Amino acid sequence: MHKISVITVCFNAAEYIEETIQSVVEQKGVEFEYIIVDGLSTDGTVDIIKRYQASIDQWVSETDGGIAEAMNKGIGLATGDYLIFLHADDYFINTDGLS
């Protein structure tokens, strides 16, 4: 079975990030890792990420040069055979979205 790397890049996404994280960590039936790259948010995003850190394989919060650089950081951390970028205001509508 192939492993999927799900990568979320975000910056000041406290309004949306919790629903995104929940939709990923609830996925069933497929091997995956979850990576979050945060651009040093100041709105509480990091506090939300920390609440879920036991279910997140890797996460970083540091300054970056924008979304493209953040996406490249995520790619650098990924170990999966396939990559999926799920933005901080997106989510899977059911628990088999990855399968």
The predicted-structure confidence for 53-71, as pLDDT tens digits, reads as follows 999 999 999 999 999 999 9
Characterise 26 by phi-psi region: left (phi > 0), alpha (psi -120 to 50), beta (else). Answer: alpha
Q: Where are the beta strands (DSSP E) in 15-57?
A: 32-38
- Write down the domain spans for the chain: 4-85
At residue 1, does pLDDT exceed 80?
Answer: no
At residue 8, does pLDDT exceed 80?
Answer: yes
CATH number belonging to domain 4-85: 3.90.550.10
pLDDT digits (tens, 9 = 90+) for 19-53: 999 999 999 999 999 999 999 999 999 999 999 99
Residue 38: predicted pLDDT: 98
CB atoms within 10 A of CB 74: 22
- Prediction pTM value: 0.96
